[in-house]
């Protein structure tokens, strides 16, 4: 079965600061077996005069048999340079545009989140008009409840955005906030084509929780994975924000575990 696993490049961000490093990193990812990546936090592609432009990045991806399945892009660029962003993604061969979190100007109130929903609609419509999907990535802060018995901010994004707005769930942060991954996946069928995965382990002797390769922690993958499949997940993005050993070794451990689960 063809793998549905992708590397969220934020995991290896320290290994993408130059063109040579990016090429080496993409080859290593391909050699592990991953068929795809999410191009986010790639240092060699950042800045006003990036060392690696979209065309060069596409060639690197093609050279390694990799597909770009999503990005995280600056909201200001999506608003102010929409056509340039469309051109960028078309060159990459990527039809899924996401943002890592809501911009700072949309803070921690229901009113601000609703204002984002209204003000983002024209940009999202432009992206959808050329066949792109737009998604919102969560951390745990979206579970803040401005009214203690009211909905969370994430509930507002789920319930009040248009059905065509995707939800790039990060399952670690759902669990970190005390939420149940399976229940949230059940709420959003067809809206989660790309999700982010990492595991959650208990570290000794500090007794603190931290991120871990998938299968080395305590998240309930035997129930989470079937819920993902039922919700229509197309790509599982492995994103380990913090690696406590070599990040490529972490990526391989996650890959091996999930492939054994049929992904």
Looking at residue 94, which CATH number applies to its domain? 3.20.20.150
Supply the pLDDT for residue 107.
Answer: 84
Cα–Cα nearest to 144, from 127, 156, 130: 156
User: What's the structural domain count of the chain?
Assistant: 1
**Ranges of the chain with pLDDT below 50:** none
Supply the pLDDT for residue 48.
Answer: 87
Report how many helices (DSSP H) and strands (DSSP E) the chain contains, helices first.
10, 10
Q: Which helix (H) or strand (E) covers residue 96, if one does?
A: strand 96-99
Range of the domain at 94: 5-260
Supply the pLDDT for residue 149.
Answer: 94
Q: Token pair 């248009």 is at which residue?
A: 162
Q: Which helix (H) or strand (E) covers residue 152, if one does?
A: none
Supply the pLDDT for residue 81.
Answer: 97
Q: What is the pLDDT of residues 67-126, one digit of tens each?
A: 999 999 999 999 999 999 999 999 999 999 999 999 999 988 999 999 999 999 999 999
Supply the pLDDT for residue 175.
Answer: 96
Supply the pLDDT for residue 233.
Answer: 98
């Amino acid at each position: 079965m063809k793998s549905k696993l992708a590397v969220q490049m934020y995991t290896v961000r320290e290994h993408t600061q130059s063109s040579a490093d990016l090429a080496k990193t993409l080859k290593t990812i391909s050699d592990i077996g991953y068929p795809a990546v999410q191009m986010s936090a790639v240092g060699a592609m950042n800045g006003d005069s990036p060392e690696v432009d979209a065309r060069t990045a596409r060639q690197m991806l093609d050279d390694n048999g990799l597909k770009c399945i999503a990005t995280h892009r600056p909201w200001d660029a999506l608003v102010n340079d929409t056509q340039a962003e469309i051109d960028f993604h078309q060159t990459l061969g990527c039809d899924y545009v996401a943002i890592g979190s809501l911009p700072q100007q949309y803070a921690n109130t229901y009113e601000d989140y609703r204002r984002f929903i209204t003000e983002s609609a024209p940009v999202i419509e432009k992206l959808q008009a050329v066949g792109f999907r737009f998604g919102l990535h969560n951390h745990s802060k979206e579970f803040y409840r401005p009214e203690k018995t009211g909905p969370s901010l994430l509930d507002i994004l789920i319930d009040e955005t248009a059905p065509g707005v995707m939800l790039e769930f990060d399952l670690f942060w759902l669990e970190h906030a005390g939420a149940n991954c399976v229940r949230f996946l059940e709420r959003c069928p067809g809206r989660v084509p790309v999700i982010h995965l990492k595991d959650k382990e208990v570290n000794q002797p500090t007794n603190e929780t931290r991120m871990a390769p998938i299968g080395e922690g305590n998240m309930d993958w035997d129930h989470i994975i079937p819920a993902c499949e039922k919700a229509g997940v197309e790509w599982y993005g492995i994103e380990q924000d913090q690696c406590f050993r070599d990040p490529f070794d972490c990526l391989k451990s996650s890959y091996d575990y999930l492939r054994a689960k049929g992904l």
